[in-house]
Amino acid sequence: VVGDIDRGGVFASFFGTLALLDAADQALLAGFIVNKFRGSLDLLAPGLRTLEQLTGRPVLGTLPFDLDLWLDAEDSLAYGRVLGRPAAPRGEHWLRVAVVRLPRVSNATDAEALAVEPGVAVRFTAEPAEVAAADLVVVPGSKSTVADLAWLRETGLADAIGAHAAAGRPVLGICGGYQMLARSIRDDVESRAGEVTGLGLLDVDVEFAPDKVLGRPVGTALDTEVRGYEIHHGRISRIGRQLTPFVGDDGVSSGSVFGTHWHGAFESDEFRRRFLRLAADLAGRDGFEPAPDTEFAAVRQATVDRLGDLVEEHLDTEALWRLIEQGPPAGLPLLAPGATQ
């Protein structure tokens, strides 16, 4: 079991997780790893010894907190207010990106490809004032489009996003976020709310269907190749004639507002650069210059390599390999109440 000590309560989580498992599952839990530790290991050592004594299982290592190490993570768990540590801009201006922190956010990793660009500061926020101050506003995917749309209205974020677009500043909706920008949403599948009025920033209508659209499409947008993936119930049932095609068969743009169902599009480096250049121009950030040499795949691989180095340095890798090859040792002690189940 790996526990995040940076969030607090890791010892209670370790012990409680083990104790609540039934006997068969407790027999499979062979050790613990502490993740994201800051400070002196000498101060942590007494707690680790106590955990080992109480559970009869070893702590196989402690991984240090590394601010430069950020990887794809479960939705909402890994996102603080600022994503990563943005590198200095290549040009005169920064580009400030506000990603709306939806309560039911989905596939929030779309923002990571933006955050690797020098001079791009990505902030997750639920504050209308921060949306108003941003250069680019991103409404990300959602596990419940209609519920998160209602939340946007309750918090004043819907008005802030609308004012941002009305001022000619860029707004991007991705998947569920795109659906929220629509004129109307018909949902008899997820929320069963029937027809709901969208934000009306794009002249499209959305209708939810029982079958989910799945795919790894390849296409062209902004005169360059784009790759992504799709996973959504909502379909665009009507597209206004005055709209401009954007990413995907049903992606569109109108003035400074853009919508696409594709996740992962910004991992296509040239498309990301061109979109950021366009967004900067719309926001009046003429001094922003996208970096011509940023490769998202290389950045991600370097991050994985860095994590591998930390694992080799700070964990008992021999013990981990034994567990992988041989399984948990026999005779591990069982804890109540799970041991009685």
* Helix, strand, or coil (residue 175): coil
Spot the catalytic one: 175, 232, 233, 261: 175
Whole-number Å distance between alpha carbons of 331 and 89: 57
Check: CB of residue 89 under 8 Å from CB of residue 119: yes
Dihedral sign computed on CA atoms, order 121, 126, 129, 131: positive
Check: CB of residue 20 under 8 Å from CB of residue 10: no
Distance, CA of 329 to chain centre? 37
175 is catalytic: yes
Check: CB of residue 30 under 8 Å from CB of residue 1: no
Spot the catalytic one: 164, 232, 233, 263: 263
Nearest to 278 by CA among 253, 309, 302, 250: 253
Count of Cβ atoms closer than 10 Å to residue 56 Cβ:
12
Whole-number Å distance between alpha carbons of 336 and 22: 9
* Helix, strand, or coil (residue 92): coil
Task: Kindly state the tokens that stand for 323.
Answer: 């567990």
232 is catalytic: no
Whole-number Å distance between alpha carbons of 228 and 267: 8
Whole-number Å distance between alpha carbons of 10 and 16: 10
Q: Which residues contact 264 (CB under 8 A, 6 or more apart)?
A: 110, 113, 227, 228, 229
Nearest to 244 by CA among 223, 226, 228: 223
Check: CB of residue 234 under 8 Å from CB of residue 143: no
Where in the sequence numbering do the catalytic residues fall?
Answer: 175, 263
